[in-house]
Amino acid sequence: MVAISKIATGNGHGEDSPYFDGWKAYETNPFHPIDRPDGVIQMGLAENQLCFNFIKKWVMEHPEASLCSAEGVNKFEETALFQDYHGMPEFREAVAKFMGKVRGDRVKFDPDRIVMSGGATGAHEMVAFCLADPGEAFLVPTPYYPGFDRDLRWRTGVELVPVVCESSNNFKITRAALEAAYEKAKEANLRVKGLLITNPSNPLGTILDRDTLKGIVKFINEKNIHLIGDEIYAATVFMEPEFVSISEIIEEVECNRGLIHIVYSLSKDMGFPGFRVGIVYSYNDAVVSCARKMSSFGLVSSQTQHLIATMLSDDDFVDSFIVESKEQLFKRHKYFTLSLSQVGIGSLKSNAGLFIWMDLRKLLKEKTFDAEMDLWRVIINEVKLNVSPGSSFHCDEPGWFRVCFANMDDNTMEVALLRITTFMHKHNEAMVPRKLCRRASLKLSLSRRRDDFMSQNMMSPHSPIPQSPLVRART
């Protein structure tokens, strides 16, 4: 038997996390409204599918954006040959402009600081390779995206030290928490090279307020460590308060810009995860130069650069897209959270992202992560929803779940809500001796015909009114 490397044989790939187990459950029995109405509904995948009609319209009206059309094929040869790791200038300009617009044009981005990567996944790994040696560490506030364990650590040998944030103050990143994490790293003999924040947050769906951001910038300057701001959800901020980017803060406070780096992508804001458009934007010239060379390992397909350059340089399209996307996310978020609250499920107050941070602490048998896993298994196997357990995000408190809401159509959303309602109804019945069911017609924020979303197969057995989408249970 011929041996392979330690990296290959270890489990740094991170797929043993429950985050992925749910996906497996989904894959073996995926929901389909007609073929598999009892299948698992995927609510563990943070995708943005709400604006595709809007984008498709643009694509159909702009055949020149495709190299395959009669209008675009004249660019085929030069595009197919273009492998310069600087990236197409028009691509970088369009992305820089987009990033600026997403921040309300309060700040400008320099196209020459834009470096490509294989998605944000590739971007994070690349930044880690540039900033830290094997055995060194980054601080990361919890709860955080499970993929970081793989992206930042697997092939780089870099360690992650959690900055523990707590529900008692809505998971705020406090100075105390930062200091505690820094000390912990020191005690473990780990040299801290940087702090990685995700803003807007995955999985919380919240944004960092100005004071917190200023505090963070102060902290990293004092410790002389890098700050990596993952702003992949920047355009998904759908209501007040307004998003504040790291790029804005460094204009307002004293800061060594050589420490500041932003990771971005079009996977969430535009809903293009398949196109693998990752971006590293650094204010540090040496990092830009090094990252650019490393980008050879994960360049964006020139075919895709061409499409994106054409699309994002269309100012009218971009402006309307940003507005439309926020609106769709706002509506979906509002409907979802309102419906959940009506069956007694709360979530962290949020204004961004493609998910909510659902609070199921009171459903736990006991305040342990084992109980969280038990509940999670019930949700997957009985309620047939794939949601992501908080422990997979390194949350320090059991009972929280990330639930994605933007990766499905309205029909599927209704089915998911009905299942949750049914489950809560059963749960509430089990909790109290007397049940009192009130039928109520819920005023929907969407104007829709009832028949649009109610299919005969999905009727709740307990519903006294067959066409009522939701039953309000009173305990």
Residue in 107, 100, 95 with CA at minimum distance from that of residue 312: 95
What is the Cα–Cα distance from 372 to 351, expressed in whole angstroms? 26
What is the Cα–Cα distance from 414 to 464, expressed in whole angstroms? 18
The residue among 200 and 298 lying less far from other proteins, judged by its C-beta, is 298
* Contacts (CB under 8 A) with other proteins, residues 154-173: 154-155
Residue in 305, 291, 317 with CA at minimum distance from that of residue 91: 305
**230 catalytic residue (yes or no):** yes
The residue among 20 and 330 lying less far from other proteins, judged by its C-beta, is 20
Which of 232, 249, 260, 356 is the catalytic position?
232
Contact 101, 311 (CB under 8 A): no
Q: How many beta carbons lie within 10 A of that of residue 215, not counting itself?
A: 17
* Contacts (CB under 8 A) with other proteins, residues 258-317: 258-259, 267, 271-276, 286-287, 290, 293-294, 296-304, 307
How far apart are CB 398 and other proteins at their closest, in Å? Answer: 28
**# of chain residues touching other proteins (CB under 8 A):** 81
Mark the segment that binds other proteins (CB under 8 A) among 29-37, 75-83, 208-216, 242-250: 75-83
Residue 318 contacts other proteins per CB under 8 A? no
Mark the segment that binds other proteins (CB under 8 A) among 56-64, 323-331, 364-372, 435-443: 56-64
How far apart are CB 231 and other proteins at their closest, in Å? Answer: 20
* Contacts (CB under 8 A) with other proteins, residues 200-259: 223-226, 256, 258-259
The residue among 116 and 383 lying less far from other proteins, judged by its C-beta, is 116
Which of 21, 268, 281, 356 is the catalytic position?
268
How far apart are CB 13 and other proteins at their closest, in Å? Answer: 4
The residue among 287 and 454 lying less far from other proteins, judged by its C-beta, is 287
Residue 150 contacts other proteins per CB under 8 A? yes
Burial 101-116 (b: 16+ CB within 10 A, else e): bbbeeeeebebebbbb
The residue among 194 and 399 lying less far from other proteins, judged by its C-beta, is 194
Q: How many beta carbons lie within 10 A of that of residue 193, not counting itself?
A: 19
**279 catalytic residue (yes or no):** no
Q: How many beta carbons lie within 10 A of that of residue 328, not counting itself?
A: 18
Q: Side-chain half-sphere of 320: how many Cα atoms within 13 Å?
A: 10
The residue among 119 and 469 lying less far from other proteins, judged by its C-beta, is 119
What is the Cα–Cα distance from 64 to 369, expressed in whole angstroms? 53
Burial of 331 (0-12, 13-18, 19+ CB in 10 A): middle
Residue in 53, 102, 57, 466 with CA at minimum distance from that of residue 279: 102
Residue in 325, 219, 275 with CA at minimum distance from that of residue 95: 275
Residue 79 contacts other proteins per CB under 8 A? yes
Which of 19, 26, 145, 182 is the catalytic position?
145
What is the Cα–Cα distance from 409 to 48, expressed in whole angstroms? 11
Residue 92 contacts other proteins per CB under 8 A? no
Of the candidates 33, 39, 62, 429, which one interacts with other proteins according to CB under 8 A? 62
**145 catalytic residue (yes or no):** yes
Residue 121 contacts other proteins per CB under 8 A? yes
**232 catalytic residue (yes or no):** yes
Active site residues: 145, 230, 232, 268
